[in-house]
A and B are shown apart, each in its own frame.
Chain A
Amino acid sequence: MTRIFAVALGILTAIGGFLDIGDMVTNAVVGSRFGLSLAWVVVVGVGGICVFAHMAGKVAAVSGRATFEVIRERLGPRLAVANLGASFAINLLTLTAEVGGVALALQLASSVHYLAWVPLAALAVWFVIWRVRFQLMENVTGLVGLLLIGFAVAFFLLGPDWNELGRQVMQVLPSSESPFTYWFYAVALFGAALTPYEVFFFSSGAVEEGWTTKDLAESRANVLVGFPLGGILSIAIAGCAAIVLLPAGIEVTTLSQVVLPVQEAGGRLLLAVAILGIVAATFGAALETTLSAGYTLAQFFGWTWGKFRAPAAAARFHVTMAICLIIGLGVLATGADPIMVTEISVVFSAAALPLTYLPILIVANDPDYMGSHVNGRWLNAIGQVYLAVILVVSVAAIPLLVITGVGQ
């Protein structure tokens, strides 16, 4: 019974914790401009994160060590430093976007300018990381983040025209948009679904929670059930925008526009649910990115790390996270638009994907680390197909960013 409860809780928190500001904004922008014609990218992206998160969790459960520790040892410091450089920079950008997302969501609830919320949001992130136990932190943000289900409820309450949505799904390129813009957003959606911090957090979290090979089934259930259901919430956000905003000629540029369809569908009550869900999801992601910043650096340099240790016992790990939060705070204090930071972060994320995912595939194939749990033939084949897709996306990301002027 306890086991079933643990698996159910894991799946629920995986659903609630799947979405972050990048997923929410990118899906809403895409829905308001392309309808559901890019929904296939979410499906492909969710498949990718399932494959690689499963591998990363397996590496952690079998070896008892997090991805970065193993990468440095297995691939040597030179390749590991390239991995670290790209992942750390993008993670910092994502952290900034998430803190900005929390502030924007609180602005929606209070109408107090988001810049006033930024320091409080950053302080709250630091406090939770400093004081709250890992499991409690993960479960609370994941479960409250489930309130994003409000978007799925809104989608059905809006009474969608299924024929029109079906036509959008089958449409390769809407006539009103250029192919470059279409592919730019395809890359952005893919990058949002496979953000590198997700696997670093997933594998380090496995070590924090002391996973062993006995936990592999639970890990598989979290990934293979929780993430796809989270992906459905992503499509619901795009669907809401496609039903309400696209016909009105409203292209999403702010978070306040993202919740307009929810208000249309369910009024104030559903709006409150959605805002609470957004606050929890972005706050949870801010915690995860901040922790990932500490994890990656500490694991690369061999520092003592982990929330299961007292802060004094992992001082450099905690100082790294505090500095990263201060940097994020500084970027937002310049008045940088959090939505623009989000859009840029998901595209750069896409550009750096091979540096994150290739090492995971290599380590998951190494019998010295994995023993009998080394990747099977099918998992390898799927992993290699995804790696090829990731390489194409990575090459295309920056040129598309330049060509389209960040998707204009």
Chain B
Amino acid sequence: MAHRWGSRIAAVIAAAVLAGGCAQVSADDPAATAVSESHAAVATMALAVRLSLDGRATNQSTQVVIDDSVETVADAQQSLMTSSGTDPARLQLAETVIGPVLTEGRRIADRGPDNLSAADLQRLQQLEQELADALEELGG
């Protein structure tokens, strides 16, 4: 009896793993994932820059948020380069939108929180919108 229950539990776990594996594969789109992660990173940067411009954040914390976000975008771009078996058109779209985000993020990080301006915030919000549009196009 105990043996039969053990087998049933093992079968349920195996089925769950298999079902989850399938779900994971269908959801595992490197292009959409990279764009989604970059979108979250740019939204974070935009929030940090706005808080800094409003005088609600310290330079230290703003710098850390921006550095972390740039690292996230760099990782997302790196994962695109190493991904295989993805539709080249989708990868191309993702690379096109993520590249400028990384450039802008690094520029802001290098200049430091003291030199942030409303134009930086506007540019980040524009990039955030471009990433959102790309994500929609990718069906993410």
Q: List residues of chain A with CB under 8 Å of any chain B CB.
A: 107-111, 178, 180, 244, 248-251, 253-254, 256-257, 259-260, 263-264, 267-268, 271-272, 275, 395, 399-400, 402-405, 408
Digit string of B43-83 for contact with A (CB within 8 Å is 1, else 0)?
A: 11001100100011111110111001000100000000000
- Do residues B40 and A110 form an inter-chain contact, with CB atoms below 8 A? no
Our pick among B33, B39, B40, B60 for the contact of A108 (Cβ within 8 Å) is B60
Our pick among A254, A268, A395 for the contact of B57 (Cβ within 8 Å) is A268
- Do residues B47 and A248 form an inter-chain contact, with CB atoms below 8 A? yes
* A109 to B, closest residue via Cβ: B60
Our pick among A244, A250, A395, A402 for the contact of B9 (Cβ within 8 Å) is A395
Binds A, one of B20-28, B84-92, B100-108: B20-28
- Do residues B58 and A271 form an inter-chain contact, with CB atoms below 8 A? yes
B11 at the interface (CB under 8 A from A): no
Give the number of residue pairs across the A-B interface with Cβ within 8 Å: 85
A251 to B23, CA, bound (A): 21
Our pick among B43, B56, B57, B58 for the contact of A250 (Cβ within 8 Å) is B43
* B73 CB to nearest A CB, Å: 12
Max chain B C-beta neighbours (<10 A), residue from A248, A254, A267: A254
The interface size of chain B toward A, counting residues with CB under 8 Å, comes to 30
Residues of A within 8 A of B132 (CB): 249
- Do residues A260 and B51 form an inter-chain contact, with CB atoms below 8 A? yes
* A10 CB to nearest B CB, Å: 33
- Do residues B24 and A249 form an inter-chain contact, with CB atoms below 8 A? no
A400 to B17, CA, bound (A): 8
Interface of A is mostly: helix
* B17 to A, closest residue via Cβ: A399
A110 to B63, CA, bound (A): 10
Residues of A within 8 A of B47 (CB): 244, 248, 250, 260, 264
A178 to B16, CA, bound (A): 13
- Do residues A271 and B43 form an inter-chain contact, with CB atoms below 8 A? no
Interface of B is mostly: helix
- Do residues B64 and A399 form an inter-chain contact, with CB atoms below 8 A? no
Residues of B within 8 A of A404 (CB): 20, 24
Residues of B within 8 A of A408 (CB): 33
* A403 to B, closest residue via Cβ: B20
- Do residues B56 and A263 form an inter-chain contact, with CB atoms below 8 A? yes
Q: Could you write out 29 A-B pairs with CB less than 8 Å apart?
A: A107-B64, A108-B64, A109-B61, A111-B63, A178-B27, A180-B20, A180-B23, A248-B43, A249-B39, A250-B40, A250-B44, A250-B47, A251-B40, A254-B65, A254-B72, A257-B44, A257-B68, A260-B51, A260-B65, A263-B56, A263-B57, A267-B55, A267-B57, A268-B57, A275-B61, A395-B9, A395-B13, A399-B13, A399-B17
Residues of B within 8 A of A264 (CB): 47, 51, 56
Max chain A C-beta neighbours (<10 A), residue from B39, B59, B64: B64
A290 to B118, CA, bound (A): 47
Our pick among B16, B44, B59, B61 for the contact of A263 (Cβ within 8 Å) is B61
Residues of B within 8 A of A275 (CB): 61
A408 to B79, CA, bound (A): 15
Residues of A within 8 A of B59 (CB): 111
- Do residues A256 and B58 form an inter-chain contact, with CB atoms below 8 A? no
Q: A257-B44, A260-B48 are in contact. List 5 more A-B contacts (CB 8 A).
A: A180-B20, A256-B68, A263-B56, A275-B61, A403-B17
* A345 CB to nearest B CB, Å: 21
